[in-house]
Chains A and B, each alone.
Chain A
């Protein structure tokens, strides 16, 4: 079926998801070529969404909320402040990805107990999502020196036009915190500049941005973690 008028007649059914398979194929083949049909389809999508939102609600069984929470699966970014579980996996990353002498100092500080009154360190982990589901990262922040380092593994390598950008997350704010690339093995690290009001920030995120960075996130959030 190639008749454009006939395709338009199918758009309401396509939005509802009730087309027969051959009609689905015809619409899908047509849509990339027709902006007008895409716009019209979107208008029917609004109707379908309103139908869903206007549907009658019903009282779920007691305890469903608790069962939902207990059943939440898949690893989530950890709030753990323990450096030790990640150290054995990440130590080689840090050593291999030394950028400046400060990183040598970092690894030395982290790997031995500090004296009483030493500058507090904050650690957190980041987990990958979406296209970066297998990625893992660890960040260590020196609250006194207001410096930090993020090391990641498992991120896909990017082309020359893009880099990974780190964001500090606070409310609606997304503050740039660094740019980095990963090597062929998916390892990367970056020194982070920690702002004076860092303690107000609640999370870290990583997205793909143009190579020179972006003032605001434009790419999908690929890694995130709570601070």
Chain B
């Protein structure tokens, strides 16, 4: 017996089942386009075409994250498949009040890639992506018709802040973010004191947090 709803499914933004007609969602959806929330709703109802559409929006980003973590195209492909399989399984329990669809997807991708990396024992054993890559990246996350300019601006602010981090902070942050390494492991790899690594990562994150405006928080 369950005594209360185990999950709260808030829907702060009007969401709809895909249809050829226009969906009005607070004026953020263009005619004929479906928002990410629409697609998740459809996936929850078993619509595989919606999985296709979501893949076309975020497949490159999910694959890119996996590739950066794993450094192996074949493994990255498997992880990308895992990501969309998980979306297929969990669409009905997705909570819009917790995270955007894009955020949810990228969390799945990063976490799954790090898990695979750890299973393979390859975490920390290869050169990781350079944060410099971020500076030249075209904004790939504006595919959602319901996304807005502010979100894109937030990413730009973050990229700018990343570029200004001291090299040692950026290096430690890279290992933590893309490799999922612990403080201890990072300290071993960089041959640095544990306390130094903790401080660098903390300071880097605080700087990044300070660099983004209030409009970037949910």
Contact = CB atoms under 8 A, between A and B. Distances in A.
Interface string A88-116: 00000000000000000000000000000
A220 B7 contact: yes
27 contacts: A9-B202, A10-B198, A12-B202, A16-B173, A16-B205, A17-B114, A17-B176, A42-B218, A46-B209, A48-B177, A50-B212, A53-B102, A55-B129, A56-B137, A58-B60, A61-B77, A65-B59, A74-B88, A172-B25, A207-B9, A208-B6, A217-B9, A220-B6, A220-B92, A221-B93, A224-B44, A225-B46
B195 to A, nearest CB: 10
A52 interface: yes
Interface in A36-95: 42-44, 46-61, 64-65, 67-69, 71-74, 76-79
Given A12-B202, A43-B217, A44-B209, A55 B68 contact: yes
Contact of A18 (B16, B73, B181): B181
A162 to B, nearest CB: 7
A43 B209 contact: yes
Given A56-B64, A72-B88, A221-B44, 17 more contacts: A44-B205, A50-B155, A53-B102, A55-B68, A57-B60, A73-B85, A73-B88, A78-B46, A129-B92, A131-B2, A157-B1, A162-B5, A172-B14, A202-B19, A207-B5, A208-B2, A221-B9
B119 interface: no
Interface of B: 1-9, 11, 14-17, 19, 23-25, 41, 44-48, 51-52, 55-56, 59-61, 63-65, 67-68, 73, 76-77, 80-81, 84-85, 88-89, 92-93, 99, 102-103, 106-107, 109-111, 114, 129, 133-134, 137, 140-141, 154-155, 158-159, 162, 173, 176-177, 180-184, 186, 198, 201-202, 204-206, 208-209, 212, 216-218
Given A49-B107, A68-B81, A218-B8, A9 B198 contact: yes
A144 interface: no
Nearest to A43: B209
Contacts of A54: 134, 137, 141, 155, 158-159, 162
Instruction: Say whether chain B's binding surface is mostly helix, strand, loop, or mixed.
Output: helix
Given A55-B134, A172-B25, A71 B81 contact: yes
B182 A20 contact: yes
A127 to B, nearest CB: 8
B6 A69 contact: no
Interface string A6-28: 00011011011111100100000
A51 B44 contact: no
